[in-house]
Structure 1
Amino acid sequence: MSKQNLRIVWMLLITVVIAVFGYSSQVQPRVFGQDDSNSDNTLFLPVIVRQEPPTPTPTPTTPPTATSTPMPTPRPGTATPTATPASPTSTPPPATPPTRTLRRVNAPYFANEITFEQMGIFWFGSLSETSNHADVRVGYNQSGLEIYVAIFDRRLWYSTSPTAATLTDWDALTLLIDTDSGANALTSSSYRFVAQLSGDASANYRAVYQGNAQGWQQTNLAFTTKPGWRGAVLNNDAVSDRGWAMTFTIPFSSLGLSAPPATGSEWRLGLQLHDRDGANATPNPIQTWPETLQRDQPTTWGLLRFGLPGYQRPGVAAAGQVQIRRPTQNDPSVPDADVGSAIENQCPGDDYHIWNEWANRNYGDAGDFNIQNQADVADWPCFARYYVTFPLTAIPAGKVIISATLTLHQFGNAGGAGEAQPSWIQVLTAAEDWQENTITWNNAPRAWENIGGRWVDPVGSNWTGWPGIPWTWDVSYAVANAYAAGSPVRLILYEADSAYHSGKFFVSSDTGDWNIQGRPTLTVVWGNP
């Protein structure tokens, strides 16, 4: 039996088991602190809805010519929702990429309340029984900056008698901000916010410091933290937990500002993740974003940019177009892979597997992939990111990029009828190479920067047959930067979703040659300078 058929049988068995028996685990995760009004104290294993491929038939092995393909409406009957830009222009203002030594997160602006699903996302850490992974969401509005961090953590420990000096001896986060991106030492523009996991939002579990020439000085300024956790019980190693979360809300007025920073301006940003796995245990090594971070050296922190980056198309006529996709199933070009909860390993519940094997598995030869995330940190075994690299050598030298579009074909989703929700799927870039047959959740490149996103619906009535439902993302900014640097464009797709059943299933580069058109495709229009 082929791998493709084995995957089909496996997914059908999972669906039947869920439908008949539901899901239960030895320890039912519980949620505290963070909003989860629909939780019934269980780990949700979503039903799988997918279209099965037809019997393969011989087809040409060369890519078809580019054609205009209508896209389904992202939310039927409504306009596509987007984060309100910080300027009155219809598109974000042009941006330059970060330097080759600094990672950057581009924070979306929201005119009113910050929309959780559309916050900019990035991640760091390494997942195992004794080390943690963190997903980070960032957004801002007129009043302040919000940063939400979800941590995958097997042992949740906090102090029952906290002091400011010992907050980071337990499960905690340090958030570093410098409002002067050019600072090369600690100054009064440098801030250190510390928040420890706890059962409530008591001010005893947080502290804030301001920089000066001598180092850090504890100070008082208005900000809030909101902790949450998922597991059996805090401060108990008898059972495994799932993780915890922390939301930092920092008013701009607390940082001496009367309004949000101008669109396109940059601050310095850094995060330290502190971990402890027992009452008498030694704290585990600190994990950081970016990996170069030294707490007292702002030049080693990453960048926080206000507003999503835009791309200013050159005012020249189109002189050519190229469509880039894998031409045959066995061709090595356009490598792609999802990491984490691949379709053939959706939402596993085995405790040993998720802490020891899940983050180290490779699915690079799969003919399909999943993109998934949600607010409930207990369900992190359902989360999945997607990586794809397009060579740009087919674009003649000395040209300018007018536009570039990524097209993915959807064929399924997590959740049954009435359960599946639309997803704001974001595009990010990577700066490092990776290998299709070795990439995993733990060794995959971190994001270099996030560049935008779009809503993607569940399949529903949008399905009209293969090659699948086409969805497109504008990646002109990423392609233009990669082309100028003489490198391939390395893309990552991920979500910052809130709802359960958010997974979206797409056709990969490794699908059979019966569905060449369904493979991930990059269409680039170029002109003469």
Structure 2
Amino acid sequence: MIRRMKNILLIFLLVQLLASCAAHPLPEDSKGVYESVPPSNTNAPEQTPFSVFLPTVIRPEESRYRINARYLPDETWLVPSSIFWFGKVTRSENYVDVRTGYGDQNLKLHFEVFDRMLWYDTSPTTAELSQYDAIGVYLKTSGANGNTPDSQSYLFIVQSHPNYLDKSQYMASFRWNGQEWTKSTIPFNIRLAYAGEGGYNQTSKDNRGWFIEMSIPYTSMGFSQNPVAGTTWGLAVVLYDRDDASSSLPAKQWPPNANLSIPATWGTLGFGLPTYSAPPSINQNTMVIREGWNASKVPDASVGGSTVCGEGTDFFGTWGDTPESFYANRTVNNTQFNIQNQMDVADWPCFAKYYITFPLDALPKGKVIVSAKLVLHHFGNSGAPGEAEDSLIHVMLAERDWDERTLTWNNAPLALENFAATYVPPLLSYPGDMGVRREWVITPALVRAYQKGEPLRLVLYSSDSARHSGKYFWASNRPDLEASRPALEIIYGDPTP
């Protein structure tokens, strides 16, 4: 009887959660929503459910920020991209998700910007492109090295603007001539739009944001084909901002401490994901680390809109600074979490990331790491039944420690590097008390933390496009069914004599 009541309670909870995070589309008669993000590509190539994308590149460890771009078989479909982010969501600051991928012809960079006030230059000049809402991309195809740019260094700047205007007036390319950036005629293509009720160049009504998508042909930079897996370029990104007619606001950049004049301080753009080949070993053993098992505490926390799309917060006023404890009554005291993203910034703030740290104290020193998997148990989806879509969820290393009591979207660590991605399909029916096992192969990430003597600090986020893409998982705080809590599964051995 107790078991039956427990199942009934869980089913009721699941139904509530499925309904609570249905994204709220803008009414069809909404005025002032001049442009919106195009709908998801319904002709995307089919993906195998539960597939794990293994890394494809072996490389030495690097300490700088790095984004490993994923290959795009279809350059018009960016969900398979990798993703990183920077900035803050406030009334006077901007935040951006950067989707990064490479196809056979182009490097693809999609910038989804949360921005309350949109401003563009009605009489644009090249010199003033960065004085308004804009994106700057620095590339060095000879690698993220050196104290000065070289002849293989490029700069692309695009200013956000209404879509009906001549795009060529709002974009420019530059190349380093040995002393300075000089304007060039390097061809590249853009796609852009904005979303919001206010529109450009006004301060009476809030907007939601804008996007710019760059397609940079390899031929524009002197290459006859796409880079081979394992290639690395230098990359830095600048997000420019302006909220009124008087002056621009301080820019934000990735990496946060990069000196744009010194490529060695930029981030690394890798083509393909990293792999790991284990050295020979003997006496192999398996270890599982989860809260209450080989670790007294495995802290985890979600940031963003939780399972309710930020209900009860003001998006630009408080959403970005709200900890997960605010949503505890909707997540059963934070025993559940959501991972969600989409490309429609006009929609409700249904964005959520997940942070988790595995202590490695129980893992003996001096061992050979053979393999490592992150395991989560999936029990629900956002949206009404039939609306949920597949999610591509990425696992990345977080740059530093954090406190689960105070962690928010705005103060959460950035990602240092992405290591794995798995497609998680929606659940079509109640999966039982445990949920469905989902896993990510993250051996290179564990090896990096283990060799440094650090805990394994992870952050998960998706690169999805569609609404209703959120996926719900059980958290470390779940009081029962310990096996459903997030786990790190490790196979290790002794070095071969």
Q: TM-score range by the shorter chain?
A: 0.7 to 0.9
Taking the aligned partners of 2:426 and 2:22, their CA distance within structure 1 comes to 20
Query: Contact 2:341–2:463 at 8 Å: present in 1 too?
Result: yes
Residue in structure 1 matched with residue 230 of structure 2 by the alignment:
264
Taking the aligned partners of 1:417 and 1:281, their CA distance within structure 2 comes to 48
Deviations 1:483-524 (Å, cap 9, x if unpaired)? 111111111110000111000011101112x22111101111
TM-score w.r.t. the length of structure 2 is 0.88
Deviations 1:356-414 (Å, cap 9, x if unpaired)? 21111111661111100011122361100000000111111110111111110111110
Taking the aligned partners of 1:35 and 1:10, their CA distance within structure 2 comes to 31
Taking the aligned partners of 2:238 and 2:215, their CA distance within structure 1 comes to 17
Alignment CA distance shift 1:474-1:18 (3 Å):
closer
Residue in structure 2 matched with residue 362 of structure 1 by the alignment:
323
Residue in structure 2 matched with residue 430 of structure 1 by the alignment:
398
| Secondary structure of the structure 1 residue equivalent to 2:347 | helix
Deviations 1:206-241 (Å, cap 9, x if unpaired)? 001111232111111110111111112222211110
Residue in structure 2 matched with residue 48 of structure 1 by the alignment:
none
Kindly indicate whether residue 306 of structure 2 is the aligned counterpart of residue 339 of structure 1: no
Taking the aligned partners of 2:397 and 2:17, their CA distance within structure 1 comes to 36
Counting only pairs closer than 5 Å after superposition, residues 464-479 of structure 1 correspond to structure 2 as: 464-479=431-446
Taking the aligned partners of 1:377 and 1:464, their CA distance within structure 2 comes to 31
Kindly indicate whether residue 166 of structure 2 is the aligned counterpart of residue 224 of structure 1: no
Residue in structure 1 matched with residue 108 of structure 2 by the alignment:
146
Unpaired stretches in structure 1, ≥5 consecutive residues: 39-74, 84-89
Kindly indicate whether residue 239 of structure 2 is the aligned counterpart of residue 277 of structure 1: no
| Secondary structure of the structure 1 residue equivalent to 2:481 | helix
Report the count of equivalent residues. 469
Kindly indicate whether residue 148 of structure 2 is the aligned counterpart of residue 185 of structure 1: yes
What displacement does 1:97 show?
2.9
What displacement does 1:290 show?
0.5
Query: Contact 1:370–1:386 at 8 Å: present in 2 too?
Result: yes
Kindly indicate whether residue 484 of structure 2 is the aligned counterpart of residue 523 of structure 1: no
Query: Contact 1:348–1:382 at 8 Å: present in 2 too?
Result: no
Residue in structure 1 matched with residue 60 of structure 2 by the alignment:
96
Which of 285, 300, 315 lines up with 2:265 in the alignment? 300
Query: Contact 2:55–2:272 at 8 Å: present in 1 too?
Result: no
Cα root mean square deviation, aligned: 2.8
Query: Contact 1:33–1:199 at 8 Å: present in 2 too?
Result: no
Alignment CA distance shift 1:256-1:127 (3 Å):
same
What displacement does 1:161 show?
1.4
Taking the aligned partners of 1:18 and 1:297, their CA distance within structure 2 comes to 46
Taking the aligned partners of 1:25 and 1:434, their CA distance within structure 2 comes to 42
Which of 45, 66, 71 lines up with 1:109 in the alignment? 71
Which of 462, 476, 479 lines up with 1:495 in the alignment? 462
Query: Contact 1:28–1:231 at 8 Å: present in 2 too?
Result: no
Deviations 1:101-140 (Å, cap 9, x if unpaired)? x100001123443641110100001110000001001000
- Greater share of residues in strand: 2
Alignment CA distance shift 1:234-1:318 (3 Å):
farther
Deviations 1:250-272 (Å, cap 9, x if unpaired)? 00110011122221121110011
TM-score w.r.t. the length of structure 1 is 0.83
Residue in structure 1 matched with residue 365 of structure 2 by the alignment:
397
Alignment CA distance shift 1:158-1:188 (3 Å):
same
What displacement does 1:157 show?
1.1
Which of 410, 416, 425 lines up with 2:384 in the alignment? 416
Residue in structure 1 matched with residue 35 of structure 2 by the alignment:
32
Q: Aligned AA for 2:99?
A: R
Query: Contact 1:152–1:380 at 8 Å: present in 2 too?
Result: no
| Secondary structure of the structure 1 residue equivalent to 2:447 | helix
Query: Contact 2:52–2:439 at 8 Å: present in 1 too?
Result: no
| Secondary structure of the structure 2 residue equivalent to 1:473 | strand
Unpaired stretches in structure 2, ≥5 consecutive residues: 1-8, 326-332
| Secondary structure of the structure 1 residue equivalent to 2:281 | coil
What displacement does 1:311 show?
1.6
Counting only pairs closer than 5 Å after superposition, residues 366-381 of structure 1 correspond to structure 2 as: 366-379=334-347, 381=349
Kindly indicate whether residue 158 of structure 2 is the aligned counterpart of residue 195 of structure 1: yes
Q: Aligned AA for 1:289?
A: W
